[in-house]
Amino acid sequence: MADVDAVHAYHGLEAVACYQDWEPRSRVEVATEVAKWADGGWDRQAPEAIVFAVTLRDTGALIGDIVLLFRDRDARQGEIGFSFNPSHGGKGYATEAVPAVFSVGFGHFNLHRILGRCDARNRPSWQLMQRLGMRREAHFREHALFKGVWDEEFHYAMLAREWAEMDRGGS
């Protein structure tokens, strides 16, 4: 719960919430979320989701979170989502952190495929997924209403064998 203020610093922003299925969160709402996340995962046999805190190595400051959702146990399908504090954006931190979550998903949890969905207008998000080597699998056009306007959604994915084959530059 000591992370509530750090998470609120970005979950409370319209710029972070605008392409997510939630509105900017109050501190109380963030506290409720963080309590759920803390109650989440590793010690459970079959968690529904695990939320990872991303911290700076030097200071320990929390600068973002990455969620790994378990969508289909039999088909071993996962999904990722990410939110970072914009004051730490543009430095490659998400590019560094998301592969660590892939390692957990494909390695520890033996997932077969990890999906990432984003609004087509959310360029930083789809650029991040492209930079990570995920494949764009779909572009849904005006298939739903999102916050009152037609939704354009990209789906990106990575298969376990693609992850294994990818040259991670020794990392």
Q: By three-state DSSP, how is residue 34 classified?
A: helix
Residue number with the shortest CB distance to ligand COA?
A: 92
| Closest CB to ligand COA among residues 95, 161 | 95
- DSSP character at residue 167: -
Q: Which of 5, 26, 36, 91 binds ligand COA (CB under 6 A)?
A: 91
- DSSP character at residue 93: H
Closest approach, Cβ 95 to ligand COA, in A, equals 3
Q: Residue 89 interacts with ligand COA (CB under 6 A)?
A: yes
Query: What residues between 110 and 129 interact with ligand COA by CB under 6 A?
Result: 118, 122, 124-125, 128
CA 139 vs. chain centroid, Å, equals: 19
CA distance 37 to 13: 19
Q: Residue 12 interacts with ligand COA (CB under 6 A)?
A: no
Residue range at the interface with ligand COA (CB under 6 A); choices 14-22, 37-45, 104-112, 162-170: 14-22
Which has the closest alpha carbon to 134: 143, 146, 125, 142? 125
The site string for ligand COA over 126-165 (x = CB under 6 A, - otherwise) reads --x-------------------------------------
CA distance 88 to 119: 21
Q: Residue 16 interacts with ligand COA (CB under 6 A)?
A: yes
- DSSP character at residue 146: E
In sequence order, what DSSP letters do the residues of 39-57 get, joined into one string? TSSTTSSS-SEEEEEEE-T
Closest approach, Cβ 146 to ligand COA, in A, equals 11
Q: Are strands 113-119 and 135-146 parallel, antiparallel or unpaired?
A: unpaired
Q: Residue 94 interacts with ligand COA (CB under 6 A)?
A: yes
**Residue labelled with tokens 């929390």:** 62
Contact residues for ligand COA (CB under 6 A)? Answer: 16, 19-20, 81-84, 89-95, 118, 122, 124-125, 128
